[in-house]
């Protein structure tokens, strides 16, 4: 079943930058703009940033390159890729876990993206008022299933529309316009934020390390953040890599994507902390930073409505270019392995993912009595993905290349240069030893925390 005629007409990126922007689009998402600033805020600002940069270099980049090469070599979806490199062995299950993970992530990612769409709309048509209680308002939004269903549906329709149009006319075209737009809009928000009187304290928080807030947990948060932000552990980068034609610059492409992703996360810090500090709010207050603190901040600053609109638009765009990469994993699998045509694959998987997101919405209203391991439904999806599925997928993919395919064979197969060169050996060492050890550590401590903490 694995090798049907679809592979003969498999699409590929039309330009080198097409892949780089698409992969950066996948990487840059809610993780950079919503999650990174609040995790950094809780973990001591610049101190977290420094630790995060090290984990990106030692764990994120090598794993990103790994997934990219697995796709590039096999030109297949995650299931087909492992099957092609290890015929007859059960490694294809790693690919299957990835497809399942993509399905689960998109089902709740789309719900959170729906919140961003709602706030974009809200900034445009109503603006923000200093008198409002944004914590109560956020609470009332997430407990309104009607509004949320509509936003979730709109987001899924956008993803299906882009993916139906194909790799070149859909994904590549979309990121070609949206990624530069995202950067320009982000810079506009930063200019507004850093020119507020008192912004300096926020900049200092983000640039001057506060080591007193660094604990063992900070390192674990940094590793988990590197995984999520680079879209690792479930075959999204593998799938995008499978549309690469044979060329020699895989290591450079990977470096560019990782640099863009890290750059946007840092820019998000500069967009958020100066305004938060200047207007007297707390930076260390957790996930509500984007949806509770920021509306209150925008309500209190000059041109706040425009800044708020642009900020939430940036968040929505970033979510869309990530959402399409998640859907593409499922669609590539349905096309390659099940022989579906692209449009049918996109529509049917989009529909099922939409349905799977509904419980995550209802978890805040009609089904708020449902608790899974003490969490509401959306948090339990997120926990399952971040604490179990992604680390497990990343671990198995690293072990596969480290011990089955091997770094030196990968270097030859993908023309990375001399397989005996120092950097290939370092890469091989990282994926064989350091990365598996680090991943096992975060999984064990995450699980122990949940069940015994």
Q: Nearest Cα to 273, choosing from 6, 46, 12?
A: 46
Stretch that binds ligand TRP, among 27-35, 206-214, 300-308, 429-437 (CB under 6 A): 27-35
- Which residue in the set 228, 291, 312, 354 belongs to the binding site for ligand TRP (CB under 6 A)? 228
In terms of Cβ atoms closer than 10 Å to its own Cβ (0-12, 13-18, 19+), residue 377 is buried
User: DSSP per residue over 400-434, as a string?
Assistant: IIIIII-HHHHHHHTT-S-TTSHHHHHHHHIIIII
Stretch that binds ligand TRP, among 25-33, 53-61, 72-80, 149-157 (CB under 6 A): 25-33
- Rounded Cα distance between 383 and 446, Å, is 10
How many residues at the interface with ligand TRP, by CB under 6 A?
17
Q: Which residue has the tokens 């630790």?
A: 51
| Residue 31 engages ligand TRP in binding (rule: CB under 6 A) | yes
Using CB under 6 A as the binding rule, the residues of this chain from 273 to 302 that contact ligand TRP are none
Stretch that binds ligand TRP, among 1-9, 21-29, 44-52, 346-354 (CB under 6 A): 21-29
Using CB under 6 A as the binding rule, the residues of this chain from 93 to 132 that contact ligand TRP are 105
Q: Nearest Cα to 17, choosing from 284, 343, 342, 252?
A: 252
CB of 30 to ligand TRP, least distance (A): 4
Beta bridge partners of 372: 375
- When the beta carbons of 231 and 290 are compared against ligand TRP, the nearer one is 231
- When the beta carbons of 260 and 414 are compared against ligand TRP, the nearer one is 260
Distance of CA 220 to the CA centre of its chain: 17
Using CB under 6 A as the binding rule, the residues of this chain from 127 to 166 that contact ligand TRP are none
Stretch that binds ligand TRP, among 24-32, 58-66, 130-138, 417-425 (CB under 6 A): 24-32
Give Cβ neighbours of residue 387 (< 8 Å, ≥ 6 apart): 224, 443, 446, 447, 450
Stretch that binds ligand TRP, among 6-14, 187-195, 319-327, 353-361 (CB under 6 A): 319-327
Q: Is 235 in contact with 95 (CB distance < 8 Å)?
A: yes
- When the beta carbons of 79 and 299 are compared against ligand TRP, the nearer one is 79
Q: Nearest Cα to 302, choosing from 176, 446, 127, 125?
A: 127
- When the beta carbons of 104 and 196 are compared against ligand TRP, the nearer one is 104
- Which residue in the set 120, 231, 242, 290 belongs to the binding site for ligand TRP (CB under 6 A)? 231
| Residue 322 engages ligand TRP in binding (rule: CB under 6 A) | yes
Phi, psi of 375 (to 5 degrees): -115, 160
CB of 241 to ligand TRP, least distance (A): 13
Phi, psi of 372 (to 5 degrees): -115, 115
- Which residue in the set 32, 43, 290, 401 belongs to the binding site for ligand TRP (CB under 6 A)? 32
Beta bridge partners of 375: 372
Half-sphere exposure of 39 (CA within 13 A, CB side): 25
- Which residue in the set 18, 26, 45, 128 belongs to the binding site for ligand TRP (CB under 6 A)? 26
Stretch that binds ligand TRP, among 10-18, 29-37, 199-207, 394-402 (CB under 6 A): 29-37
Q: By three-state DSSP, how is residue 195 classified?
A: coil
Q: Can you give the length of the chain in residues?
A: 453
| Residue 66 engages ligand TRP in binding (rule: CB under 6 A) | no
H-helix segments, 289-389:
294-300, 304-338, 342-362, 377-383
- Which residue in the set 55, 164, 226, 229 belongs to the binding site for ligand TRP (CB under 6 A)? 229
- When the beta carbons of 228 and 381 are compared against ligand TRP, the nearer one is 228
- Which residue in the set 20, 24, 27, 296 belongs to the binding site for ligand TRP (CB under 6 A)? 27
Using CB under 6 A as the binding rule, the residues of this chain from 373 to 392 that contact ligand TRP are 390
- Rounded Cα distance between 196 and 258, Å, is 31
| Residue 225 engages ligand TRP in binding (rule: CB under 6 A) | no
Query: Which positions touch ligand TRP (CB under 6 A)?
Result: 26-27, 29-32, 105, 228-229, 231, 233-234, 236, 322, 325-326, 390
């Amino acid at each position: 079943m694995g090798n049907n005629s679809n592979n003969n007409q498999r699409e590929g990126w039309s330009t080198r930058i097409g892949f780089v922007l698409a992969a950066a689009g996948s990487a840059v998402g809610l993780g950079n703009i919503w999650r990174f600033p609040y995790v950094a805020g809780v973990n001591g600002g610049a101190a977290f940033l420094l630790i995060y940069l090290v984990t990106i270099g030692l764990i994120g980049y090598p794993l990103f390159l790994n997934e990219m090469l697995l796709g590039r070599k096999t030109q297949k979806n995650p299931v087909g890729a492992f099957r092609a490199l290890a015929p007859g062995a059960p490694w294809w299950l790693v690919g299957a876990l990835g497809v399942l993970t993509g399905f689960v992530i998109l089902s709740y990612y789309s719900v959170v993206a729906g919140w961003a769409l709602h706030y974009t709309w809200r900034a445009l048509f109503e603006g923000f008022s200093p008198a409002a209680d944004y914590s109560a308002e956020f609470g009332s939004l997430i407990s309104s299933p009607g509004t949320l269903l509509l936003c979730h549906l709109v987001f899924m329709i956008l993803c299906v529309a882009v993916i139906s149009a194909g790799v070149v006319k859909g994904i590549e075209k979309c990121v070609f316009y949206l990624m530069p737009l995202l950067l320009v809009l982000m810079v506009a928000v930063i200019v507004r934020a850093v020119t507020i009187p008192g912004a300096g304290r926020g900049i200092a928080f983000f640039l001057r390390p506060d080591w007193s807030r660094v604990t063992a947990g900070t390192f674990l948060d940094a590793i988990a953040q590197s995984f999520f932000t680079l879209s690792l552990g479930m075959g999204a980068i593998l799938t995008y890599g499978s549309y690469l034609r044979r060329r020699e610059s895989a290591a450079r492409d990977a470096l560019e994507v990782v640099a863009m992703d890290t750059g946007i996360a840092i820019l998000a810090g500069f967009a958020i902390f100066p305004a938060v500090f200047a207007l007297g709010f707390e930076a260390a207050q957790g996930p509500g930073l984007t949806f509770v603190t920021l509306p209150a901040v925008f309500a209190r600053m000059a041109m706040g409505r425009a800044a708020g609109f642009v900020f939430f638009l940036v968040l929505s765009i970033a979510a869309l270019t990530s959402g399409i990469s998640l859907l593409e994993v499922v669609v590539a699998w349905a096309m390659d392995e099940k022989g579906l045509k692209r449009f049918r694959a996109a529509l049917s998987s989009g529909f099922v993912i939409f349905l799977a997101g509904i419980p995550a919405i209802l978890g805040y209203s009609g089904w708020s009595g449902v608790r899974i391991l003490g969490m509401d439904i959306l948090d339990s999806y997120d926990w399952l993905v971040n604490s179990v599925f992604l680390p497990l997928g990343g671990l198995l993919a690293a072990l596969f290349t480290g011990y089955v395919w091997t770094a030196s064979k990968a270097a030859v197969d993908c023309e990375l240069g001399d397989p005996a060169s120092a950097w290939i050996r370092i890469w091989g060492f990282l994926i064989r030893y350091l990365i598996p050890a680090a991943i096992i550590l975060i999984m064990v401590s995450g699980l122990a925390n949940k069940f015994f903490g």
